[in-house]
Amino acid sequence: MTAQLIDGKLISAQIKQEAAVEAAKIKEAGVIPCLAVVLVGNDSASQVYVNNKKKACEVVGIRSVSYELDGGTTEEELLRLVAQLNADEAVHGILVQMPLPKQINEEKVILAIDAKKDVDCFHPMNVGLLHTGGKGFLPCTPAGIIELIKRSGHTIQGQNCVIIGRSNIVGKPVAMLLMQENGTVTICHSKTRNLAEVCRGADIIVSATGKVNTVTADMVKAGAVVIDVGMNRNEAGKLCGDVDFEHVKEIAGAITPVPGGVGPMTIAMLIKNCLVAAKMQNNLK
């Protein structure tokens, strides 16, 4: 048997189409949704991500303003820019691309962004709201994972969901969202004993370790849904995820490819958060 391929490109295109309709409505109400994108330094992966985010804004009809700062930018200079964007009423969302150069404390920068403009959902206020189940921004990659599972026809309620990885950006917040969807959640990490055995009990596996072959075919129950958040290079230099795709696809019920799975969804959900921000700041429904 070969698994259903969960097409993140297709599903993200649908979400962006829905967002374009929404953006048009917001504009009719006299507001031009606007995202400020800040990139510090010239990390090539970050440049690609930032360009994709700006492109998606353009396609959907969101204005984007771009700040590309030198790699030697000081923390004080970046904090000054964040303060300026916080104060700018025409800017609804602020995205500072991570990672930042080592002279800048990322936590300080995240704290400095106005929580109402925090479209990444990184600010502790928004993380707290996510945990208590309040409304507001959803973390982009985790929310994208939920959409992939649901829109490809799978249920989360009552399912055993095993997450591998406990990062603030993916592992922890995706656990919250899966729990809100009434999944039974287990979070595994580098110190977990018998990872393979835990995974074999999963109906849904989410792998976010950044390690090639974290999930191999012997760890997957027949018919399980496998979501691969990894973005790695194998020995041949080829882009690949955390999952041994070629073998796991013969066992799983559904699987996301890398690239073309979770990646495009992160951007689609960022776009949605920009619209949420624009509406919130202008009391629009």
Q: How far apart are CB 97 and ligand GUN at their closest, in Å?
A: 5
64 binding ligand GUN? (CB under 6 A): no
24-43 positions binding ligand GUN, by CB under 6 A: none
96 binding ligand GUN? (CB under 6 A): yes
Among 5, 31, 65, 98, binds ligand GUN (CB under 6 A): 98
Q: Is 53 a catalytic residue?
A: yes
Taking the CA atoms of residue 272, residue 258, residue 236 and residue 192 in that order, the dihedral angle to the nearest 10 degrees is 100
Window of 73-81, 93-101, 128-136, 277-285 that interacts with ligand GUN by CB under 6 A = 93-101
Entry field: residues in the chain: 285
Residue type, 134: G
Q: How far apart are CB 266 and ligand GUN at their closest, in Å?
A: 6
Contacts of 123 (CB under 8 A, 6+ apart): 110, 111, 113, 115
Q: How far apart are CB 247 and ligand GUN at their closest, in Å?
A: 28
For ligand GUN, how many residues bind (rule: CB under 6 A)?
Answer: 7
- Lay out the sheet containing 160-164: strands in order across: 4-5, 254-255, 225-228, 204-207, 160-164, 184-188
97 binding ligand GUN? (CB under 6 A): yes
Among 159, 256, 266, 273, binds ligand GUN (CB under 6 A): 266
Q: How far apart are CB 117 and ligand GUN at their closest, in Å?
A: 12
- From residue 122 to residue 161, what is the string marking binding to ligand GUN with x (rule CB under 6 A)? ------------------x---------------------
Q: Which of 274, 270, 272, 7 is nearest to 140 (CA)?
A: 270
**CA 31, chain centre distance (Å):** 26
**CA 163, chain centre distance (Å):** 15
Q: Which of 138, 201, 192 is nearest to 170 (CA)?
A: 138
Q: Is 97 a catalytic residue?
A: yes
Q: Which residues bind ligand GUN (CB under 6 A)?
A: 95-98, 120, 140, 266
Which residues are marked as active site? 53, 97, 120
